[in-house]
Amino acid sequence: MAAKQSGQGGAVIFETGVDFAVWSHHAGQIELCLFDDDDKEFTRLPMARDDDHVHRLFVDGLKQGARYGFRADGIYAPDNGLWFDPAKLLVDPYAKELDRPFRYDPLLGVFGEETRHLVPKAIVTRDTPVTPQKPLFKPGGFIYEVAVRPFTMLHPDVPEAQRGTVSALAHPAVVSHLKRIGVDAIELMPITAWIDERHLPPLGLHNGWGYNPIAFMALDPRLVPGGMAELRDTVARLHAEGIGVILDLVFNHTGESDRYGSTLSLRGLDNLCFYRHAQHRPGELINDTGTGNTVACDHPYIRQLIIDSLRHFVLGAGIDGFRFDLAPVLGRTANGFEGHGETLTAILADDVLADRVMIAEPWDIGPGGYQLGNFPAPFLEWNDRVRDDLRCYWRGDAYKTGPLATALAGSSDIFSRNGGAATRSVNFLAAHDGFTLKDLVSYSGKHNEANGEENRDGHNENHSWNNGVEGDTRYPDIIARRRDDVEALLSTLFVTRGSVMLTAGDEGGRSQRGNNNAYCQDNDITWVDWSTLDDELITHTAFVSALRKRFSVFSQATFLSGDGDVAWIAPSGQPMTVSDWETPDFATLGMVLSTTDNNSRKTVRIAVLFNRSEVAQTFSLPGPLPAAWRQLTATGEKKAAAQTTVPPRSVSFYLEN
C-alpha cells in the first residue's frame, strides 16, 4: 500500500486505488472499515498518523462506490472530554455521499455497544466539477425560503415519486410559480445529512427541517436521493430560468448533541478538539446553540472543514451562496465573538468563495450572542429588528412610526456602525422559525401542543394578533381583516431597503395552525397545501415584487437620507413634523421616493401611503396642482385625484406622471 496525499480528510480516488485521510490529535489508533454491498464489514485496516495528526491509508485496487467508515480507539473518559470507543462506527467528516439516512437509536450513545448496523456508510465518490457562474442573486433582491420536503409534498403537478426532493424544485409547475412571484433566489433549508433529536422518536415525531446535522458535505438521501448530480442538475435548471440557489448550512452544532447524545463522527474522532468546552472543565460541553453542543469553529481543522464544505457546493453544484444558521458561532473564540476572526475572514478571502452571497443569522444564545450589524461586509444579515418593528406597527403598537421609517430606509441605525455606508439587511416578516404570515394575524399566542412539550417550546413573544378570534374562524369579516393585514404586511416588506425574504407559502396564506416551532412536524402541519392557497394574495405578492423590480429605489443599498431621495409626508401632503413623529398612535404615513422607472428609463416619483387605522384616510398627494398621479394596483393603473383615499389597514402606491 503506497502513501498518497489527500489533504486533512476524505477519500480521494487514484488510478490504482483510494487514499483515505482523517484528522485526530488524541486518538490512539484509527482504523478504516470497509463494507460490502450487503452491509457486511469485511476488513479493518490500521491507519498511519503523520506529523500533522492526519491518519492516512492508501488502499490498492479500491474503486469508486466503495463503502467505508472509521473506528477510533483511545481513552474513554467523558469527564475529561475523551469519547473514544472502537465499538462505534464513525462517519467521515469529509464524506460526500452516504448510503442511507441517519436514524436515531439509543445504542448510538452507549459505550461499548456495536453500531455498524445503525450508522450510514460513506461512499467513495469522484468529484464532477462545474464552472461556477457569477451569483445570480444580487443584494436588494427577493429571497424565497424553502423547506424542500414540505414545499412539494402536496403539489398536484409534481409526480408523486419526485415530491419532497430537490429535483422537484426544477419541475415546470414549481418554476412557473417562482417566476410568477418574481423570486430572485431560493434559499434551501438544510439538505445535508441530519439525525432526529433523541426525544422525537418516542413521540412518533421526526425532524423535518434538518437543523441537526452530522455530515457537513453529504446530502441527505431523503431529500436528494440522486446525490450531487441531482443538486447540480436542479441548480443548472433554475439558473437557466434566472433563479439563484442559496444553501442554508449548519456549522454551529451537530446532532451528536450533549453528553447523553450519540457518538457518530466528530465526537468519536476527537471530541476534545472539535467541540467547545467550559474552561478547565473538559467534560462540560458549551451550549451556545441551545441544542447541546457547540462546534469549535476556531479550531484549524474545523475551519478548513467549513471552507472545504462551502467550496464543495460551489465547485460541485454551482451554488450561488450560503445562509449560516446561528452564525455568531463561526466567529466565536474563547474570548467571545470576533467579527473579523480567522474563520469568517478565511471564508471571505477564499478564491472560490469570495464572490458568493453570504448571509448570517446574527444571533445565538451564548454570551454576547446578539450580533446584528457586527458581521464583516459583504455579509448580509437577517434583521429581526425589522421583523418585529413591522409587526408591531401593523398590530397598532404606540410609537412605531419612526421605527417603520427606519426599516423602510435600510436600518441605518444598525448598519451604519463602523463606517458602513450601505445596508446589509435581509428584511423579513416571518421565517421557518416562528409563525407563518397568516398565523401572525390569526393567533395571539403559540399553539405547539402537537410537539409533545406541553406548549413550552417556541418563542412566547411573537408580536402577533388574532383579529378577534383565536385561530380558525368562519366569520367573513374576520377572514377579510386577516387577508387585508397579510396584504398590507407583504406590501410593506417589499418596499423596504435591503434584500427581502419570504418563506414559501406565505404569499398564499399558508397556516401551521398556530405552531411556531414546527421543526418536528413532517406532516400536513408544515406541508404546503397548494389547493388552499389564496390566489388573490399570490397575485398581490407578484404585484409588489414586480414594483420592487420596476423601481430601482427599493433594491438600492445606500440608506435613504432625506436629501432629495425621500420625503416623509403626513395625510395633508406636507412634510412630517416632529409632533407627527412623536404622536404615539399616529396611524398614517406617506413615503415619496425619487427613482428610476426601469420600464421607461425615466426618473419619476413614486408615493407609498400607509394606513394602519381602522378607517379610510384621505391623503393629499404632493406636487403642484393639478396633481398628475396614477394609482398602481395589481389589476393595472388608474388616474388618481390630488386627494386620494387610502382604505383602512392597507398600503397604496401612486406614480407621478
Comparing 419 with 537, the larger pLDDT belongs to 537
Average pLDDT, the chain: 96
Q: Map grid coordinates 421565517 to a residue.
A: 431
pLDDT for position 627: 61
Residue 26: pLDDT band (50, 70, 90) is very high
Q: Exactly one of 92, 248, 308, 325 is catalytic; which is it?
A: 325
pLDDT for residue 447 is more than 50: yes
pLDDT digits (tens, 9 = 90+) for 561-597: 988 899 999 999 999 999 999 999 999 999 999 999 9
For 381-436, what is each residue's pLDDT tens digit? Answer: 999 999 999 999 999 999 999 999 999 999 999 999 888 999 999 999 999 999 99
- Closest Cα to residue 162, out of 231, 220, 171, 229? 171
How much is the average pLDDT of 622-637? 84
SS (H, E, C) 88-153: CCECCCCCCCECCCCCCCHHHHCCCCCCCCCCCCEECCCCCCCCCCCCCCCCCCEEEEECHHHHHC
Q: Which of 92, 361, 388, 506 is catalytic?
A: 361
Residue 1 has pLDDT above 70, yes or no: no
Measure the N-to-C terminal CA separation of the chain; round to a whole number of Å. Answer: 78
pLDDT digits (tens, 9 = 90+) for 453-463: 999 999 999 99
Helical spans, DSSP H, in 431-504 = 437-440, 476-493
pLDDT in tens, 190-210: 999 999 999 999 999 999 999
Q: Is the pLDDT of residue 2 over 50?
A: no
Strand order in 29-35's β-sheet? 41-46, 29-35, 67-73, 122-123
Yes or no: say if 214 and 93 are a contact pair by the CB < 8 Å rule. no
CA atoms of 464 and 391, how far apart (whole Å): 7
**Above 50 in pLDDT, residue 350?**
yes
Is the pLDDT reported for residue 236 higher than 50? yes
> Is 361 known to be catalytic?
yes
Cell numbers representing residue 586 in the block:
399616529
**Residue 325 annotated in active site:** yes
- The pLDDT of residue 4 is above 80: no
What are the structural domains of the chain? 10-123 (2.60.40.10), 142-253+297-554 (3.20.20.80), 566-656 (2.60.40.1180)
Q: Which residues pair with 207 in a beta bridge?
A: none
pLDDT above 90 as % of the chain? 95
User: pLDDT band at residue 626, thresholds of 50, 70 and 90?
Assistant: low
Q: What is the pLDDT of residues 136-164, one digit of tens each?
A: 999 999 999 999 999 999 999 999 999 99
